[in-house]
Amino acid sequence: MAQCAQSVQEFIQDSFVPMVSVLCSEDAERVTRKNNLSFPELLRPFCRLTSEGHLRDPNNQVVVVKGLRISVTGVNTRSPNSGEVRKLLSQAVSGCQPPEGLPANVITAGDYDLNISATTPWFEAYRENFLQSMPASDHEFLNHYLACMLVVSSREAVPTEQFLKLSQEQHRIQHSGEYTYPKWFIPNTLKYYVLLHDISDGDEQRADSVYEDMKQRYGTQGCYLLKINSRTGAAGPDEQMPDPWSQYLQKTNIHSPVSQFTSSIQARVLPAIHPLKLEQSADPGFPGNPSKAVNSADTARTQKQGSVTPGAAPTAHGACLTLNDHDRIRQFIQEFTFRGLLPHIEKNIRQLNDQLVSRKGLSRSLFSATKKWFGGGKVPEKSIAELKNTAGLLYPPEAPELQIRKMADLCFLVQHYELAYSCYHTAKKDFLSDQAMLYAAGSLEMAAVSAFLQSGAPRPYPAHYMETAIQTYRDVCKNMVLAERCALLSAEVLKSQAKYSDAATLLIKMTSEDSDLRSALLLEQAAHCFINMRSPMVRKFAFHMILSGHRYSKAGQKRHALRCYCQAMQVYKGKGWTLAEDHINFTIGRQSFTLRQPENAVAAFRHILINDSKQTATQQSAFLREYLYVYKSLSQPSNEGSLPQLPLPCVHSAQTRVFFGHEPRLAEGEKQAATHVWLDQEFDQEQAQLWAELEEQVVAVANRGSVHISFQPTQYCLSSHTENLRYPFAVVEEPMFVEVVFRNPLKVPLVLSDLSLLWKFTTKDFSKPQGALNDIISTEVIPEFTVGLEETKVARLKLLPHKTGELHVLGIVYNLGTREEDNSASEGITQKLLMFVRGRQDLEIQGPRLNVTKEEKTSVRHGPDRRLDPIITPPMPLLEVFFINFPTGLLCGEIRKAWVEFVNVSAVPLAGLRVASTHPEFFTFGSATADLTPVTPTAAEHCSAYKTMVTPPSDAAVTLVSPAAFGITGDNRPTVVEIPLTGGVLGPGEALQIPLWLRGPDREGVHEISFLFYYEGLEKNAKLGHRVLRHKAVICASRSLSVRATACRSNTLPGRGKRDEREEERSGSMLVFVDVENINTSEAGVREFHIVQVSSSSRQWRLHKYIRENKMQKIHLASRERGKLCFRATRCRTQEGETDSCTKFCQLTIVSSTTPCADFFFRRGPPSERQSLTPANSTDDSMTSIVRKCSEVELDIIVLWKAYVVEDNKQLILEGQLHVALQTIGKEACSLSQKEEAQEMVLLKFKPDLPPPASRPSLEQLSHLIKTCLHYPESYDHPFPQKSLCMVPVTLTLSNCSLAQVDVIIDLRHKTTSPESLEVHGSFTWLGQTQYKLQLRPQEVHGLSLKACFFQAGVYNLGTPRVFAKLAQSGTMCETSQQSAMPALIIINSV
C-alpha cells in the first residue's frame, strides 16, 4: 500500500464522525445563498475543531476529545444509489492524476531501479468518497444523525414561530415513519436553534432581542446567534480572501441528488482548461447545475493536488463574508460542539450505560436462558438455512443488543475507544450467539478498529476479527460495500504495522469481477505492498501492476491504466521476457493513443517492432497495422526534413554504397560498351589494388614520370571497403547512385513506396537565385519497393545534381506500409492507401575505428566517413568506349582485328586519352608508322588481319625494322599506350573509331584483361585532374599450335658454292629445327592448321633457307598431327636494328614487319624471361661471357598460321602467330613459356638469396669453343693390288667460334675406348704428325692438312681426331675436349 497523506488514526477518525443534520428556513437559506452556499456548506470548512473537548464517561473519568470533526449535512440529503456512487467514485479517481513533473522516488530492489510514485492520491480520493457515500444502515449507528440544527433568519417576522415549525418538521421526519432516511441515532435528537443574522441587511438590535428571547426559551446551551455577511459591497477584485470552501465543495456531490452526469470523457479531457474558469459558474451544491458540478469537482481536485492557484480570485463562495465572519462561524461550531453536542452525547452514554447496568441485574445469562426455554420471543426458531442467511435478521430498534452497540458507537465517536471496545466486544458476543451475522460482523470490525486505536495499546490488534468480519460481510451478507470498507480499514491498519504481506493478501482477496475500478485500485495497492516489503518483491509488484492496469482499462480509467503499465514496464524492460514486454508495449501504445499521446504510442509500438520479435506472423502484422494506424493519426508535418523516424525496415547504414556515374549500358548489337564499374560488382581487394596500380602507371606516364604525392586512385564506387576519409567528387549533370541495404526483421512483408533520398545541398555560388529543388538536384523516386518477410534487400536511389556545391545525403524518405492480404482488389487498394505512413530514416555511417595514437587505442573512436557527402564539381569530360567485333574466345596466338570506338558524351572536350592494361601483349592499336587506313569495321570484316603482298616464292626476304617504330623503347613493355586523337582533343559528342588488333594469349584458359582508359579535361586546375574508365575483357583462349624450336650448329664450312654464300657461311651458320604440333583439342571446331610463313627476327641471324624436299609442299596439320621444319640460319652483318626475314609457304607474303605482326612480336612475352641472359653476363668476367657468347643465339622465330575453323556450318579462316625465342644452341625453346607455372610454386624466402656462384663456364659451354670439320673426298679409288697403302689427304678445319684466343691441341692417336669404335672396321692410321698444338685467334678458321693411311678397301670413319681447347688467358684451366665431330665416313674402293 502506498503512503497516505493522513496517518492511520486520522484516517479512521475521519471515517467515523458525528453526523449533524440541518433544517433551514427559507429566509435563512436566502441569507446563505448570498454567498452561493447552503448553510451546511457554509459550515463545512470549519467543521474540524482545533481545541480539545472534554467529557466524562459513566465512570466519571474525563475523556479528552482531540481533533474532533463533525459532519454537517442538510436533513433532506439522501444517500446516492449504487450506480451514482459508482460514477462518482470513477470521477474521483479519474480526476485525480499523479502530478506531472513531480520527482518520483526511486526504489532500488536487487538489480532494479524503479521509479514509482510513493503516494497514490487517487486511491485516497476514492477511499474518502467511498466512505462518505456509505449508506446509513440499521446494524450500526455511526453515520446516523446525532443532532439537528434548526436555522432561522433574524429577518423572519416571528422567528420563534419559525423555530417551532422547524422543530415540528424535524420531529415529523424522525418519528412519523414516513421516511426511512435519514436515520437518527437516538429518539430524542439534540435540537440546536440557530438564529442567522445578516449584518448587511438586518436590524442587529432586533436580532439580539430575538436571541435573548431564544435564550429564555431554549437555554443558553441550545441556541446560538450567528452573524454573517458583514461585507456590504461585493468583494473588490484586489482584495484577497481565502476560499476554504473550494476544496470541500466537491464532497457535496456525494450527498446532493445529482440526476445525471456528463460523459466521463468530457471530464477527462478538461484538465487542460484553466480550472478557475469553471468555478465561477459552478454551483455544485445545487442540483440544478449537475454537469458543471462534475467539472468543478474535477478542477477542485486538481487544485488540491497542488496545482498552484494563487489568490482564488473573484470566486462566488463566501463573497459576503469577511475574515471576521469566518471566525464567527468557527466560534459557532465550537460552541455547538462543546456546549451542545458533547454534553448531549455524554448524557446519552450515561443513560445507555444506566440502562445496561440495570438490565445486567436480570443477567444476560438468565435472559438468554429464558430465551432458550421459551423459544420464540424476538428470536424465532430458525432453520439452518435461515441461520446462514442471517443478513435478513433484524432487531427492533429498542433491542438491548442494539443499545450496547449504540453506546459503543457513541463512545467511538467521542474517541473513548476503551469503552467502545468493551461494548463492541460484548455486542459481538450477543450477536454471534443470536447468529445475527451482519450485526456481529459490524461489531467485530469496530471492535478491531477500536482495539487498534486505543492509546497505549493494551491489547494487540485482533487481525482475525477483521478477517472474520470481511468474510462474513462478503460471503454471508453478500454486502460488498461493507466488506470493502472493512478491508480498506484493515489494510490501512496492517500497513501501519508493516504487515505488507497480509495487507496484500487481503487486498487481492477483495478483487472481484463485480467492480473493475475497485479491483484495479486494490491490486495497485497490493502491488505497492509488495514493493514496500522488507525484501521488495519487484516482480510481484510488476505483475500486480499489470493486473491493475488491465482492470483500470476495463474500468475506463485509461490514464491510470497507462501509468500502471508504464511502471510495470520498468521491471520487464530488457530482461528477455519478450512476450510480456511486447504485450506491455502494445498496451501502452494503445492506451497512449486513446489518451491522445500519439508520440508515446508511436514510441511504444516502435519498440515492439524494432526488437527481434518472437511473435507470430499474424501478431506481428497486427502490431504493424496498429503502429501504422497510430502513426498515421499523428499529425503529419509537411516538411520532409522534420518527418519522424520510422523503425522499419532496418537500414544497414554501414553497408551503404555510393556510385558516381551513369548506369552501365548494355551491349548494342556488335557494339559492346566498356564494363566500367557498377554496383553489381562485388568489392575485390585484389582488383582494386590492380586498378589502382594501373591508374598510378598511367598517371605517371601522363605526368611525365612523376606521380603526385597525394595521388589517390579514382573511386567510382564507395563502400565500407574503400577509404572514405576524403570528400568524394561528383560531376554536375552526372548521376550518382546510393545503394541502401534494408532488412525486414518481421514475418510480414513491408511495402515501401515513394522511396527517395533526403539530402542537403550547399551551393557554391550564392549569386544565382536558388531554383526549385528539382533544379538543384533531381531525385529519383522509387514508386514501390517490397521487402519480403525476413529479407535483406538493396535499393538503388539516384540523384542527379544540376548545380555545383556540396551535397550531403542525409537519409531516406518513404511511405511505410504493409501488404494487405485482401481478396477483393478494390478493397485492397483503399486499404493500402490507408495503411501508408510517411517517415524517414537517417543514414549515419560511422567511419573505421581509429587506432593510431594511444588515446585512440584506449578509447573507442571512429573516424569520419564522407561517403555520402560528395562535392559537386563543374562539368568534366566523360568518355564512353565501345568495342566492336570484340571476340570472347580466341585460339592461342590468334590475331583478330576488332574496332574500338571512343565517344565523348559530355559537353566538354576531352584530351590526353591513354590506355593502360595488365596485358599489353594482348592488343595493339597499330604502330605509328602503319598507315591507319580508316576502313570501316564492316568492310574489313572478312579480310585478313595481316597485310599481305603477292611475291614470287623466294626463299627469304629481309626487312629492317626498329622496335622504336612500334612504340617500344628500351626493355620495358609499354603498359600505357597513348591513343592518337585528331588535334589531341575529342570534342563534345565526337566519336573516334580506330582498329584494334587482338592476339590470343599464349596460354590456354580464361584470361581477364583489364583496360584502364585515362583521359583528362582541358582545364588543368580542375579538382578532378583526370578521369578513368575501366574495362575488363574476358577472353577464353583455346589451344592452337605448339611450336618448339632448336638450333644446332651447322658443321659445313665454306667450301664450294657461290662466293657470297661462302662469305656468309664464313661467319657461321646454324640449323634451326622447328617442331609444330597441332594441340587443339576441339576436333569439331578446328579442322586443320596451315603453316603459312615462318619469319625470324634477330640482330645477328636470319633464316636463310628452308630445307625441304618438295619446293611447294604445304604444311597442313590436322588435329594431333605434328610437323617438322628445318631452316638454315646465317649470321648477318647488319648490326643495326632487328632484322626480319621470312620464309613463306604460299604465294602471298605476309608483311611481317608491319602492324599487327610486328606489334605483337615486340609486345610478346614477359620481358623478364628474355632479358635474363644478355645483360647479366656483361659484368661477369670476360672469359665466361666469351665462352657463353659463342653458344648464344638471339633468334626469334615467328610462325604464322592459318586455321580452318568450322563454325555454324561456315568455314572460317583464322590467322595467328606464335613466337619462339631461341637463345642457346642446342637448347629447345617452346612457344609456350613453361616458366610461369614454376613460379607459382616458389616458396617464400626470407633470407637474402646467396649470390650466384662465380659463373664458371660449364663444360658443355666450353666444348663449343671450337668447331671442327673434316674435308675429304667421299670416296676414294685405290688400286690395292698395286699399292698396298692408300694415302688420302684430309683437311681438318678448325674454326674458333669464340671472340678470344684459344689454345687447341689436336690428338690424332687412336684412343678409342668404346667397343663400338673397334667394331667399326678398319683401322687406319694417321700419318705424319699426330699431335698438334695451335693457337687460334678469335674467329679464325684454320685448316690443318692431314694424311690418312688405309690398308684395304672399306668404309672408314675419319672422325677420330680429338680436339682439346682452352682459352688462352686462363692458364689454370685444363683443356676441354671439344664436341666430337660427327662420323666422317670415307669409302675406299679397291680398283
Partner 1 sequence: MEICKVFFHLSVSVILSPLQNYPLYIRSVPSQSELKFHYTVHTSLDVVEEKISTAGKAMAEQRELYLGLLYPTEDYKVYGYVTNSKVKFVIVVDSSNTSLRDNEIRSMFRKLHNSFTDVMCNPFYNPGDPIQSRAMFTMVSGLKSDKCGWLV
Tell me which residues touch partner 1 (CB under 8 A).
110-111, 530, 535, 537-540, 542-543, 546, 572, 575-577, 579-580, 583
Shortest Å, Cβ 620 to partner 1: 15
Q: 114 or 702, CB closer to partner 1?
A: 114
Please give the grid coordinates belonging to residue 120.
497514490
Q: 111 or 238, CB closer to partner 1?
A: 111
**Secondary structure tally for the chain: helices H, strands E:** 40, 56
Answer yes or no: are the C-beta atoms of 539 and 558 closer than 8 Å: no
Q: 580 or 732, CB closer to partner 1?
A: 580
Q: 571 or 878, CB closer to partner 1?
A: 571
DSSP character at residue 183? -
Q: 540 or 973, CB closer to partner 1?
A: 540
Shortest Å, Cβ 745 to partner 1: 16
Cα–Cα nearest to 1219, from 1335, 1096, 1327, 1061 = 1096
Answer yes or no: are the C-beta atoms of 916 and 1160 closer than 8 Å: no
Please give the grid coordinates belonging to residue 1057.
658454292
Shortest Å, Cβ 1014 to partner 1: 52
Site of grid cell 568534366: 876
Shortest Å, Cβ 569 to partner 1: 13
Contacts of 1371 (CB under 8 A, 6+ apart): none
- Rounded to 10 degrees, the C-alpha dihedral 574/576/577/580 comes to 40
Q: Compute the distance between CA of residue 459 and CA of residue 477 in angstroms, rounded to an integer.
A: 29
Answer yes or no: are the C-beta atoms of 1201 and 1094 closer than 8 Å: no
Contacts of 249 (CB under 8 A, 6+ apart): 41, 44, 284, 285, 296, 300, 317
- Single-letter code of the amino acid located at 745: P
- Single-letter code of the amino acid located at 758: L
Please give the grid coordinates belonging to residue 155.
429577518
Q: Compute the distance between CA of residue 502 and CA of residue 522 in angstroms, rounded to an integer.
A: 13
Q: 484 or 582, CB closer to partner 1?
A: 582
What length is written for the chain? 1391
> How many C-beta neighbours within 10 Å does residue 1191 have?
23
Q: Compute the distance between CA of residue 1117 and CA of residue 1090 in angstroms, rounded to an integer.
A: 6
Shortest Å, Cβ 834 to partner 1: 29
In the 3-class helix/strand/coil scheme, how is 821-869 assigned residue by residue? CCCCHHHHHHHHHHCCEEEEEECCCCCCECCCCHHHHHCCCECCCCCCC
Q: Which helix (H) or strand (E) holds 211?
A: helix 204-218
Site of grid cell 532496418: 650
Please give the grid coordinates belonging to residue 186.
437516538
Contacts of 384 (CB under 8 A, 6+ apart): none
Helix (H, G, I), strand (E, B) or coil at 684: coil
Q: 580 or 1341, CB closer to partner 1?
A: 580
Q: Compute the distance between CA of residue 1282 and CA of residue 1193 in angstroms, rounded to an integer.
A: 52
Cα–Cα nearest to 1079, from 1118, 1136, 1024, 1036 = 1118
Give me the helix-helix angle, 121-132 and 516-532, nearest 10°. Answer: 130
In the 3-class helix/strand/coil scheme, how is 448-464 assigned residue by residue? HHHHHHCCCCCCCCCHH
Q: What is the CA radius of gyration of the chain?
A: 61
Q: 371 or 539, CB closer to partner 1?
A: 539
Shortest Å, Cβ 495 to partner 1: 19
Q: 527 or 1363, CB closer to partner 1?
A: 527
Q: 608 or 1384, CB closer to partner 1?
A: 608
Q: Compute the distance between CA of residue 738 and CA of residue 812 in angstroms, rounded to an integer.
A: 10
Shortest Å, Cβ 586 to partner 1: 10
Q: 530 or 882, CB closer to partner 1?
A: 530
Q: 113 or 784, CB closer to partner 1?
A: 113
Buried b (16+ CB within 10 A) or exposed e, 1229-1258: bebbbeeeeeeeeeeeeeeeeeeeeeeebe
Query: At residue 238, what are phi and psi to the nearest 5 degrees?
Result: -75, -25
Q: 103 or 574, CB closer to partner 1?
A: 574
Shortest Å, Cβ 644 to partner 1: 29
CA end-to-end span of the chain, whole Å? 150
Shortest Å, Cβ 575 to partner 1: 5
Order of all β-strands in the sheet with 1302-1307: 1331-1336, 1302-1307, 1362-1367, 1376-1377
Shortest Å, Cβ 541 to partner 1: 8
